[in-house]
Amino acid sequence: MKKIKPVHIGFILSIGITLCISLLFVLHFRPLEILEEKLFDLRLHLRGVKPPSDKVVVIAVDDESVEKIGRWPWHREKTAKVIDKLSEYRAKLISFDIIFSETETEAGDRIIQKSIKKAGNVILPLAFNLDPIKPKPPAFNIAPSSYAILKNIDRLKPIQASNVLVSIPPISKQALSMGHINMIPDIGGAIRWEILAIKYGDNYYPSLALQSVRQFIGLPREAMILEGGSSIRFGRFRIPTDSYGRMLIDYSGPEKTFKYISIIDLLEGKVKREEIEGKIALVGITALGLYDLRVTPFSDNMPGVEKHANVIENILRGVFLKRNSQIIDLAIILFVGLILALILPRMKAVFGAIISISLLAIYTGITYYLFVNNNLWIDYLYPSLNIIIVYTGVTIYRYASEEKRAREIKNMFSSYVTEKVVNELIKNPDMAKLGGERREITVLFSDVRGFTSFSEKHSPEEVVSILNEYLGEMTGIVFRWDGTLDKFIGDAILAFWGAPMKQEDHAELAIKCALDMIRRLKELQQKWQSEGKPILDCGIGINTGEVLVGNIGAEGKKMDYTVIGDHVNLGSRVESLTRKYNVNILITEFTLDKIKDLVKNGNISHVCIKGLERVAVKGKEKPVEILELISLEPGAESVIEECEKEEVVVLKEK
């Protein structure tokens, strides 16, 4: 079965994470939806307060008014005085966020009816019961306050009401119009949307704020058209809505961003006419103890009446916040995920972090810019979360796979090369291509002379002891010169340079290793002689050429990292010729070609390289020049004497 490349696994992992994030987005995963709403609030805070126009003023039933006038609710005659005073100050429109749902006294009800009728510009609220049960008819006909024209209503997912709370009929009938004051908080608990249409019976009713603006600008009822699932056509412009007929509220700021006028100040004549004249006067409760406080993006205790003021301000300005289409938001998540899937698995963690952070920063800047300058709410959390999780997932996978690969490299090469080389291969795994490849290397064969007769004359314990000492010293020298120890073949050593890590100076390292091995062997011989032990000698053959290097063997059973090829065989046969010519080190003309300049410029010093013969070894038709390598005394001038004999010695034996 073909092994999947890590980069492909990284791609699959990235796509998988992106699809999971997309699914959470489609399912409106509650915790993430709450967090996205909070990020929307943060954008409002970062944008700052937008000073509202002076067309709306809040007439507040505040704590001071309650303290001086008396506990709420007040007698109707007090409220009638408020209406009369606002009319006196020529408020263009008076909108109540207060429902007169019960009869007080006949005299009191008659007084307020008279004041409302006289003012002729009073809008009263409706409060719908949104429980999904069979609708009950209202106490009197409220249909004149509904939308007159409906379009594409089948596209609307209506918010339906089963009952309605209105001011008592004698009072309601005097109103210019009515609008609902229902608010439905988001799943996070804040009021972010204004419901512009609630279905009750066969009719759809606008909000108090929308109705107030219509009356304020003198727009006919027929010019306010509900277009299902998209907008409210409001005269010459449209108010964008979602599929539920809701408008996103663009809050100007926290509570008291709008002008507040205390009712007690109004009644006591402490208010200037210009503070009210020609404006929409929103009458509502702001006193803390009367519990008409709402959670909004800017505040945890904004009076409901100021929420209406914000909606009115939005509509009067004709500039609205819009939430991006879910299809486009989903496309952004998928697009960002695809980009990361194509890039991150091919990059190192640091560069991947730079790309991810840059992408996150760019996306943050774009979403904030579009929010501030185009009033567009693009989903920020899901694409950003996708960037973070994809990067984290790919990075964790990369570290896990690299750690696994590092273990494989360590297990593969720790017996062949020094820890220094293993660590370098772990840092740069591409240097250690675990599959087979052709590469130029220098191979070194070392064999103990007369080992068969030696082992016959000595006990196994003596043979093993002295052989282990010899092989241990020689192996240490191979590692000292950054060689790769291929294997022990009985008493023989096979080592090479140039793989797994590429070494441009592979021939030089092999030559210096061989000279060091012979130097150490002579020291061992003196030691063995002084100890009365048998003395071992060895021959070394060195050759350079292109070979096949890699994991060779039975996959899943026994694999070795080794070298094979004609040049490996030639190195072995050259080593066997050290007995014929009674020398310690023989090299081939191919190795000489690699080190000749190094000897001449002194990089390989005090050596003598002497050509012996041109030989045609068994299995090779083309003759090869072999040369003896001898270490001279320190300070001696190096000598190279190439073979001058033209005749070729043909060898039949190994």
| pLDDT tens sequence across 476-521 | 999 899 888 888 888 889 999 988 888 899 999 999 999 999 999 9
Q: What is the mean pLDDT of residues 275-281?
A: 96
Residue 396 has pLDDT above 50, yes or no: yes
Q: Are 308 and 208 in contact (CB under 8 A)?
A: yes
Q: What is the mean pLDDT of residues 249-259?
A: 95
Please count the helices (runs of H) and the strands (runs of E) in the chain. 18, 30
Q: Which of 109-123, 434-448, 563-577 has the lowest mean pLDDT?
A: 434-448
Residue percentage of the chain with pLDDT more than 70 = 90
Angstrom distance (rounded) from CA 450 to CA 469: 17
| pLDDT tens sequence across 63-122 | 999 999 998 889 999 999 999 999 999 999 999 999 998 998 888 899 999 999 999 999
Neighbours of 259 (CB within 10 A): 16
Angstrom distance (rounded) from CA 606 to CA 231: 94
Q: Look-up: residue for tokens 């263009």?
A: 92
How confident is the model at residue 431, as a pLDDT?
Answer: 47
How confident is the model at residue 424, as a pLDDT?
Answer: 53
SS3 137: coil
- Cα first-last separation, the chain: 41
Angstrom distance (rounded) from CA 26 to CA 368: 23
Q: What is the mean pLDDT of residues 379-386?
A: 96
**Backbone torsion region of residue 149, taken as left when φ is above 0, otherwise alpha when ψ lies between -120 and 50, otherwise beta:** beta
Task: Please report how the helices 349-374 and 381-413 are oriented relative to each other, as an axis angle in degrees rounded to 10.
Answer: 180
Angstrom distance (rounded) from CA 140 to CA 528: 122
| pLDDT tens sequence across 362-379 | 999 999 999 999 999 999
Angstrom distance (rounded) from CA 621 to CA 149: 103
How confident is the model at residue 122, as a pLDDT?
Answer: 97
For the range 406-412, what are the long-range contacts, defined as Cβ-Cβ under 8 Å and sequence gap of 24 or more?
408/434, 409/434, 412/551, 412/561
- pLDDT band of residue 1 (cuts 50, 70, 90) is very low
**Backbone torsion region of residue 291, taken as left when φ is above 0, otherwise alpha when ψ lies between -120 and 50, otherwise beta:** left
| pLDDT tens sequence across 300-333 | 999 999 999 999 999 999 999 999 999 999 999 9
| pLDDT tens sequence across 172-219 | 999 999 999 999 999 888 999 999 999 998 899 999 999 999 999 999
Tokens of residue 623, six digits: 């003759």
Angstrom distance (rounded) from CA 135 to CA 153: 19
Q: Phi then psi for 234, rounded to 5 degrees? A: -125, 85
Residue 413 has pLDDT above 80, yes or no: no
Q: Are 574 and 541 in contact (CB under 8 A)?
A: yes
Angle, CA of 209, 211 and 212, to the nearest 5°: 65
Q: Phi then psi for 346, rounded to 5 degrees? A: -95, 0
In 134-195, the DSSP E strands lie at 149-151, 159-160, 163-165, 177-180, 193-195
Q: Are 359 and 387 in contact (CB under 8 A)?
A: yes
Contacts for 325 with CB less than 8 Å, ≥ 6 apart: none
